Protein backbone atom coordinates (compact mmCIF):
# COMPACT_ATOMS: atom_id res chain seq x y z
CA UNK A 1 0.00 0.00 0.00
CA UNK A 2 2.79 2.44 0.87
CA UNK A 3 4.66 1.86 -2.34
CA UNK A 4 7.36 4.43 -3.11
CA UNK A 5 6.03 6.79 -5.77
CA UNK A 6 7.71 9.75 -7.40
CA UNK A 7 5.60 12.52 -8.90
CA UNK A 8 7.27 14.66 -11.53
CA UNK A 9 6.50 16.80 -14.55
CA UNK A 10 6.02 14.88 -17.81
CA UNK A 11 8.43 15.46 -20.71
CA UNK A 12 8.50 14.42 -24.38
CA UNK A 13 10.51 11.33 -23.38
CA UNK A 14 7.48 10.01 -21.46
CA UNK A 15 5.00 10.17 -24.36
CA UNK A 16 5.28 6.51 -25.44
CA UNK A 17 4.69 5.17 -21.92
CA UNK A 18 1.83 7.59 -21.29
CA UNK A 19 0.25 6.77 -24.64
CA UNK A 20 0.33 3.04 -23.80
CA UNK A 21 -1.64 3.70 -20.58
CA UNK A 22 -3.97 6.08 -22.43
CA UNK A 23 -4.93 3.45 -25.02
CA UNK A 24 -5.48 0.81 -22.31
CA UNK A 25 -7.66 3.20 -20.30
CA UNK A 26 -9.96 5.12 -22.63
CA UNK A 27 -12.33 4.24 -25.48
CA UNK A 28 -11.46 7.57 -27.13
CA UNK A 29 -7.71 7.77 -26.48
CA UNK A 30 -5.71 10.87 -27.29
CA UNK A 31 -3.14 10.48 -30.05
CA UNK A 32 0.62 10.67 -29.51
CA UNK A 33 0.50 13.93 -31.48
CA UNK A 34 -1.96 15.37 -28.98
CA UNK A 35 0.44 14.59 -26.12
CA UNK A 36 3.31 16.06 -28.15
CA UNK A 37 1.31 19.26 -28.61
CA UNK A 38 0.69 19.39 -24.88
CA UNK A 39 4.43 19.06 -24.18
CA UNK A 40 5.79 21.55 -26.70
CA UNK A 41 3.04 24.01 -27.63
CA UNK A 42 0.47 24.33 -24.88
CA UNK A 43 1.81 26.88 -22.40
CA UNK A 44 -1.06 26.09 -20.02
CA UNK A 45 -0.44 22.33 -19.86
CA UNK A 46 1.19 20.62 -16.87
CA UNK A 47 1.21 16.84 -16.89
CA UNK A 48 2.11 14.92 -13.74
CA UNK A 49 3.75 11.50 -13.98
CA UNK A 50 3.56 8.86 -11.24
CA UNK A 51 6.57 6.56 -11.27
CA UNK A 52 7.48 3.53 -9.16
CA UNK A 53 10.14 0.85 -9.48
CA UNK A 54 7.79 -0.62 -12.12
CA UNK A 55 8.22 2.47 -14.31
CA UNK A 56 5.52 4.98 -15.23
CA UNK A 57 2.30 3.80 -13.62
CA UNK A 58 0.06 6.79 -14.23
CA UNK A 59 -0.35 10.36 -15.33
CA UNK A 60 -2.66 13.30 -14.82
CA UNK A 61 -3.01 16.19 -17.24
CA UNK A 62 -3.78 19.73 -16.11
CA UNK A 63 -4.56 22.93 -17.95
CA UNK A 64 -3.79 25.86 -15.71
CA UNK A 65 -5.35 29.16 -16.74
CA UNK A 66 -5.24 31.99 -14.17
CA UNK A 67 -7.02 30.68 -11.05
CA UNK A 68 -8.67 27.71 -12.78
CA UNK A 69 -7.33 24.22 -13.31
CA UNK A 70 -8.99 21.79 -15.71
CA UNK A 71 -8.07 18.10 -15.43
CA UNK A 72 -7.79 16.76 -18.99
CA UNK A 73 -7.17 13.10 -18.14
CA UNK A 74 -6.01 10.85 -15.34
CA UNK A 75 -5.19 7.18 -15.62
CA UNK A 76 -3.36 4.45 -13.76
CA UNK A 77 -1.92 1.45 -15.59
CA UNK A 78 -4.60 -1.29 -15.40
CA UNK A 79 -2.33 -3.76 -13.56
CA UNK A 80 -1.55 -1.13 -10.89
CA UNK A 81 -5.10 0.00 -10.09
CA UNK A 82 -6.77 -0.36 -6.71
CA UNK A 83 -3.56 0.37 -4.77
CA UNK A 84 -4.29 4.04 -3.96
CA UNK A 85 -1.98 5.25 -6.72
CA UNK A 86 -4.78 7.17 -8.46
CA UNK A 87 -5.65 8.87 -5.19
CA UNK A 88 -2.04 9.79 -4.48
CA UNK A 89 -1.58 11.06 -8.05
CA UNK A 90 -4.73 13.19 -7.88
CA UNK A 91 -3.66 14.61 -4.52
CA UNK A 92 -0.24 15.47 -6.00
CA UNK A 93 -1.96 17.13 -8.99
CA UNK A 94 -4.19 19.14 -6.64
CA UNK A 95 -1.12 20.36 -4.72
CA UNK A 96 0.56 21.41 -7.97
CA UNK A 97 -2.60 23.22 -9.08
CA UNK A 98 -2.69 25.13 -5.77
CA UNK A 99 1.02 25.99 -6.02
CA UNK A 100 0.40 27.32 -9.53
CA UNK A 101 -2.34 29.61 -8.25
CA UNK A 102 -5.51 27.65 -8.96
CA UNK A 103 -8.52 28.19 -6.73
CA UNK A 104 -11.01 26.15 -8.74
CA UNK A 105 -10.33 22.69 -10.17
CA UNK A 106 -12.79 21.07 -12.60
CA UNK A 107 -13.09 17.93 -14.68
CA UNK A 108 -15.57 15.80 -16.59
CA UNK A 109 -16.32 12.13 -16.02
CA UNK A 110 -18.58 9.78 -17.93
CA UNK A 111 -21.82 9.42 -16.00
CA UNK A 112 -21.17 5.65 -15.93
CA UNK A 113 -17.62 6.04 -14.53
CA UNK A 114 -18.42 5.53 -10.86
CA UNK A 115 -14.85 4.53 -9.98
CA UNK A 116 -13.51 7.91 -11.09
CA UNK A 117 -16.43 9.80 -9.57
CA UNK A 118 -15.87 8.04 -6.22
CA UNK A 119 -12.22 9.06 -6.30
CA UNK A 120 -13.03 12.71 -7.04
CA UNK A 121 -15.80 12.83 -4.43
CA UNK A 122 -13.44 11.37 -1.84
CA UNK A 123 -11.04 14.24 -2.57
CA UNK A 124 -13.70 16.93 -2.15
CA UNK A 125 -15.08 17.36 -5.65
CA UNK A 126 -18.78 18.18 -5.94
CA UNK A 127 -21.22 17.52 -8.75
CA UNK A 128 -21.71 20.36 -11.22
CA UNK A 129 -23.80 20.22 -14.36
CA UNK A 130 -24.25 17.57 -17.00
CA UNK A 131 -22.83 18.02 -20.50
CA UNK A 132 -25.31 16.14 -22.67
CA UNK A 133 -23.96 13.64 -25.23
CA UNK A 134 -20.39 14.81 -24.54
CA UNK A 135 -18.51 11.66 -25.62
CA UNK A 136 -18.55 11.01 -29.36
CA UNK A 137 -18.15 7.19 -29.24
CA UNK A 138 -21.48 6.45 -27.51
CA UNK A 139 -22.87 9.95 -26.89
CA UNK A 140 -22.72 9.38 -23.18
CA UNK A 141 -23.32 12.39 -20.94
CA UNK A 142 -20.46 13.92 -18.94
CA UNK A 143 -20.79 14.86 -15.30
CA UNK A 144 -18.88 18.04 -14.53
CA UNK A 145 -17.26 17.99 -11.08
CA UNK A 146 -15.42 20.79 -9.30
CA UNK A 147 -13.65 21.70 -6.09
CA UNK A 148 -12.98 25.17 -4.70
CA UNK A 149 -9.74 25.18 -2.69
CA UNK A 150 -10.95 28.20 -0.69
CA UNK A 151 -14.10 26.52 0.62
C1 LIG B 1 -9.93 6.25 -11.94
C2 LIG B 1 -8.52 5.67 -11.64
C3 LIG B 1 -7.46 6.71 -12.00
C4 LIG B 1 -8.45 5.36 -10.13
O5 LIG B 1 -7.13 4.95 -9.82
P6 LIG B 1 -6.82 3.73 -8.79
O7 LIG B 1 -5.38 3.78 -8.47
O8 LIG B 1 -7.35 2.46 -9.35
O9 LIG B 1 -7.72 4.15 -7.53
P10 LIG B 1 -7.27 4.13 -5.99
O11 LIG B 1 -6.80 2.78 -5.62
O12 LIG B 1 -6.36 5.28 -5.74
O13 LIG B 1 -8.68 4.38 -5.26
C14 LIG B 1 -9.01 5.67 -4.79
C15 LIG B 1 -10.52 5.79 -4.70
O16 LIG B 1 -11.11 5.64 -5.99
C17 LIG B 1 -12.36 4.93 -5.86
N18 LIG B 1 -12.23 3.59 -6.45
C19 LIG B 1 -11.08 3.00 -6.88
N20 LIG B 1 -11.35 1.77 -7.38
C21 LIG B 1 -12.69 1.58 -7.25
C22 LIG B 1 -13.59 0.52 -7.59
N23 LIG B 1 -13.14 -0.60 -8.18
N24 LIG B 1 -14.90 0.69 -7.35
C25 LIG B 1 -15.37 1.82 -6.77
N26 LIG B 1 -14.58 2.87 -6.41
C27 LIG B 1 -13.24 2.75 -6.65
C28 LIG B 1 -12.62 4.81 -4.36
O29 LIG B 1 -13.23 6.01 -3.93
C30 LIG B 1 -11.19 4.74 -3.84
O31 LIG B 1 -11.09 5.07 -2.49
P32 LIG B 1 -11.41 3.91 -1.35
O33 LIG B 1 -10.52 2.75 -1.73
O34 LIG B 1 -11.03 4.56 -0.08
O35 LIG B 1 -12.85 3.60 -1.49
C36 LIG B 1 -8.29 4.34 -12.40
O37 LIG B 1 -9.36 3.46 -12.12
C38 LIG B 1 -8.18 4.48 -13.91
O39 LIG B 1 -7.10 4.73 -14.46
N40 LIG B 1 -9.31 4.29 -14.64
C41 LIG B 1 -9.34 4.35 -16.10
C42 LIG B 1 -9.21 5.77 -16.61
C43 LIG B 1 -10.32 6.66 -16.08
O44 LIG B 1 -11.48 6.29 -16.01
N45 LIG B 1 -9.92 7.89 -15.71
C46 LIG B 1 -10.83 8.89 -15.20
C47 LIG B 1 -11.47 9.62 -16.33
S48 LIG B 1 -12.67 10.80 -15.74
Active site residue 41: no
Residue range 18-43: average pLDDT? 98
Q: Is 109 in the pocket of ligand 1 (CB under 6 A)?
A: yes
**pLDDT-based confidence at 2, cuts 50/70/90?**
confident
Mean pLDDT of all residues in 82-111: 98
pTM above 0.95, yes or no: yes
For every residue of 107-121, which 3-state class applies, written as one string? EEEECCCHHHHHHHH
Residue 56 belongs to some domain of the structure: yes
Question: What pLDDT is recorded for position 125?
Answer: 98
Q: Measured from the CB, is residue 81 less than 6 Å from ligand 1? A: yes
pLDDT value of residue 135: 95
Predicted pLDDT at 130: 98
CA 148–ligand 1 middle distance (angstroms)? 21
CA-to-CA dists, residue 146 to 49, 54, 65, 140, angstroms: 22, 32, 15, 19
Round to whole Å and give the CA distance between 127 and 120. Answer: 10
User: Cβ contacts of residue 84 below 8 Å, gap of 6+?
Assistant: 1
Asked, for residue 1, whether it belongs to a domain, the answer is no
Phi, psi of 123 (to 5 degrees): -95, 10
Whether 78 is in a domain gets the answer yes
Q: Are 108 and 146 in contact (CB under 8 A)?
A: no
Domain range for 73 is: 6-148
Could you tell me the pLDDT band of residue 116, with boundaries at 50, 70 and 90?
Answer: very high
Q: What is the pLDDT of residue 107?
A: 98
Structural domain contains residue 49: yes
- Mean pLDDT score of the chain: 97
90 located within any domain: yes
Catalytic residue among 4, 95, 120, 140: 120
Q: Say if 101 falls within a structural domain.
A: yes
- Residue 1 in this model has a pLDDT that exceeds 90: no
CA 49 / ligand 1 centre spacing (Å): 17
Say which DSSP state 57 is in.
E
Number of domains in the chain: 1
Read off the CATH number of the domain in which 97 is found.
3.40.630.30
Instruction: Tell me whether residue 103 is in a domain.
Output: yes
Task: Kindly state whether residue 27 falls inside one of the protein's structural domains.
Answer: yes
Amino acid sequence: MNEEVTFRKMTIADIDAVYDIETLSFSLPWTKEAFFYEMVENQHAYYVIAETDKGIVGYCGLWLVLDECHVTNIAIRPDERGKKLGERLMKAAMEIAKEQGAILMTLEARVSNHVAQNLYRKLGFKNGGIRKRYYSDNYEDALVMWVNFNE
